[in-house]
Amino acid sequence: MNRKQQGFTILEIMVVLVIIGILAGMIAPNFLDKGEEARIKKAATDIVSLEQAMDMYKLENHRYPTTEQTLSALVEEPTFEPIPKKYPENGYIKRLPKDPWDNDYILVSPGENGKIDIFSVGPDGEADTEDDIGNWNIDEFL
């Protein structure tokens, strides 16, 4: 009886799947960590850009927008006090970015950590936790 082997046995397929699973288990965490690291760096970069736009706002109006006016004061002229003295026709930025976790960046003015605080609530989505990324701790993330 000369039978040629055709295909793989179920045992061989299972062994290959186990090996692939072990390799994926060792490699996947490295890729997932890089993704989270990239999101954190993007949030830090966004905050630096928002802070620069806020500095331009202050330079022209001698004060920062209030917490109540929010960061949207960079896109649209505030309609309640304190009304800015000078406001560019197209605002200070075109649009407000969302943080990498799809939350709004937050402005606290006057700030608790500086003249103004601009921050992302980070991956957990909750303010005042250790994963907050703000202009006061930005150097840790860049």
Structural contact between residues 107 and 119, judged by C-beta atoms closer than 8 angstroms: no
The pLDDT of residue 110 is: 95
Residue 105: the pLDDT is 97
Domain ranges of the chain: 38-140
Predicted confidence at residue 16, as pLDDT, reads 83
Lowest mean pLDDT among 20-29, 48-57, 68-77: 20-29
| pLDDT (0 to 100) of residue 30 | 64
- What is the mean pLDDT of the segment spanning 24-29? 70
Q: Residue 36 has what pLDDT?
A: 83
In this structure, whether the domain defined by 38-140 belongs to CATH 2.40.340.10 is answered with: no
Can you give the pLDDT at residue 91?
94
**Distance from C-alpha of 84 to C-alpha of 63, rounded to nearest angstrom:** 8
Residue-level pLDDT at 13: 80
Strands (DSSP E) found in the chain: 106-108, 117-120, 133-134
